[in-house]
């Protein structure tokens, strides 16, 4: 009789959480991710991370619960580890969640870049920031223009925005026309990010499975731009990192996770 797999809950907001699962947990038989919890994204709780994305170890998919259910879930599933996997929150907020998890009996973990970054065959420029709203997308688009003026084929990849309830439709999305926006039933928030690239005649990818996205982008790019989200670090190992600060929010660069 084999030993019990370590039971894991991943706390997230439909972005970093799914990525961490895909690259770190999905194919590891030593772990069993029993649930995701969700915050920040409307109407995500009650959904399921589908088996098509979860892999062969999860034939029924993985349930997604509201974050406020976390203490109950830790006890109900006899969870060993809880992984915090979203960003742009104060450090004291993170440690409050750690206290909630520890008081329920589980370990509280943060996965870092070495465990979660994917490696590209093409050069990657990553644009990140100390907080959301610093202008990452505007800088990313300017880099896009500069590189294209040098006759390079450039593709941008956007931090995930999976608002559609059916995640299987968002595995690897490619946006090069307004028809693509309609095809993927994009929200206003998504259109705000993707339309400027389309208007420049550019290509931008997004979705849920960022290894599949990367491999598709590599087929048509000389250089890849990571157009980051919130203040999260890049999903891809970069050759150049540009980090934006915000003069209107001094001190946040040292106080937000």
And the tokens for 180? 């693509």
In CATH, the number for domain 6-114 is 3.40.50.720
User: CB within 8 A of 215, min separation 6: which ones?
Assistant: none
pLDDT tens, the chain, 257 aa long: 458 899 999 999 989 999 999 999 999 999 999 999 998 776 766 789 999 999 999 999 999 999 999 999 999 999 999 999 999 999 999 999 999 999 999 999 999 999 999 999 999 999 999 999 999 999 999 999 999 999 999 999 999 987 778 899 999 999 999 999 999 999 999 999 999 999 999 999 999 999 999 999 999 999 999 999 999 999 999 999 999 999 999 999 999 99
Which helix (H) or strand (E) is 149 found in, with range? helix 136-149
What number of CA atoms fall less than 13 Å from residue 114's CA on the CB side? Answer: 0
Look at residues 78, 1, 4 and name the one whose alpha carbon lies nearest to residue 35: 78
Q: Domain residue spans in the chain?
A: 6-114, 117-254
List beta partners, residue 32: 7
List beta partners, residue 82: 9, 108
Taking the model in full, what pTM does it have?
A: 0.94
Q: How many helices (H) and strands (E) does the chain have?
A: 9, 12
């Amino acid at each position: 009789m084999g030993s019990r797999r370590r039971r894991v809950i991943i706390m997230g907001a439909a972005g970093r959480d799914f990525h961490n699962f895909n690259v770190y947990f999905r194919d590891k038989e030593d772990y069993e991710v029993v649930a995701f919890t969700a915050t920040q994204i409307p109407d995500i709780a009650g959904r399921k991370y589908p088996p098509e994305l979860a892999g062969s170890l999860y034939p029924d998919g993985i349930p997604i619960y509201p974050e406020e259910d976390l203490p109950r879930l830790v006890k109900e599933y006899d969870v060993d580890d809880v992984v915090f996997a979203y960003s742009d929150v104060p450090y004291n907020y993170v440690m409050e969640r750690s206290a909630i998890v520890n008081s329920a009996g589980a370990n509280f973990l943060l996965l870092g870049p070495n465990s979660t970054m994917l490696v590209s065959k093409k050069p990657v420029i990553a644009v990140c920031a100390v907080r959301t709203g610093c202008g990452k997308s505007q800088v990313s688009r300017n880099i896009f223009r500069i590189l294209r003026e040098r006759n390079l084929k450039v593709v941008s990849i956007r931090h995930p925005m999976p608002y559609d309830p059916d995640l299987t439709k968002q595995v690897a999305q490619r946006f090069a026309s307004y028809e693509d926006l309609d095809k993927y039933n994009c929200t206003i928030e998504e259109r705000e990010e993707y339309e400027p690239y389309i208007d420049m005649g550019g290509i931008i990818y997004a979705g849920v499975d960022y290894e599949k996205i990367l491999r598709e982008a590599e087929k048509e790019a000389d250089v890849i731009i990571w157009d980051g989200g919130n203040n999260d670090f890049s999903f891809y190992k970069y050759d150049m990192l540009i980090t934006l600060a915000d003069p209107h929010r001094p001190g946040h660069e040292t106080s937000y996770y």
